[in-house]
Amino acid sequence: MKRNQIGFTLIELMIAVAIIGILASIAIPSYQDSVKKSRRADAKSALLSLANAMERHFTETSSYCDVGGGSGAATTDCGTATLDTGTPTNIGYAIPTETASFYTITISQVSNINTTTKQGSGYTLRAVPAGAQSGDKCGTLTLKQTGEKTHSSGTLAECW
């Protein structure tokens, strides 16, 4: 007489656990990489939006000076304000909260200063990964007024 078996044997259960473990070891890192890539895209978007705000400011004042704030600093012979770098607070642009949680986006430099007119005609924007994003393979992203895009590691194709 044959007996009907309703449950699983220990071997069958261990095989199922092993298969789930293998799938998880492949899927989780891939998912985490996709999340970092998505956050990097948000940071690039914020850099480009900040560049647009910088250009609007330049159109109004013929200078990139006097746009910084927060933890910024003054640039010699640049405008009248004491803050030319740092968090962009004086140009009507706010870094999106979701992006600010994973990247510190700042105006890192105002350049090409005309000492006579006290006007700057160049800038460098920087997005530094922070928190859970700090291990991003592209590292710090930068954008200059000329449109030049750089990164501290990785390749230009995968980072920009």
pLDDT digits (tens, 9 = 90+) for 14-52: 999 999 999 999 999 999 999 999 999 999 999 999 999
pLDDT band at 4 (very low <50, low <70, confident <90, very high): low
pLDDT confidence band for 3 (50 / 70 / 90)? low
CB 90 within 8 A of CB 106: no
Per-residue pLDDT at 96 exceeds 80: yes
- Exposed/middle/buried for residue 2 (C-beta within 10 Å: 0-12, 13-18, 19+): exposed
98-126: b (≥16 Cβ within 10 Å) or e: ebbebbbbbbbbbeebeeeebbbbebbbb
Cα–Cα distance, 149 to 126 (Å, whole number): 10
CB-side exposure of 106: number of CA atoms within 13 Å?
A: 19
Indicate the pairing of strand 103-114 with strand 141-144: unpaired
Burial (CB count within 10 angstroms: exposed 0-12, middle 13-18, buried 19+), residue 4: exposed
Task: Give the model's pLDDT for residue 2.
Answer: 66
d(CA 26, CA 154): 22
Q: What is the structure's pLDDT at 119? A: 83
pTM for the full model? 0.80
- Indicate whether 5 pLDDT > 80: no
For 109-160, how does the pLDDT look when each residue is reduced to its tens digit (9 = 90+)?
A: 888 888 888 788 889 999 999 999 998 999 999 999 999 999 999 888 889 8
Higher pLDDT, 13 or 7: 13
* Strand 103-114 with 119-129, pairing: antiparallel
Give dist(CA 92, CA 57) in Å, integer.
9
Q: What is the mean pLDDT of residues 40-68?
A: 92
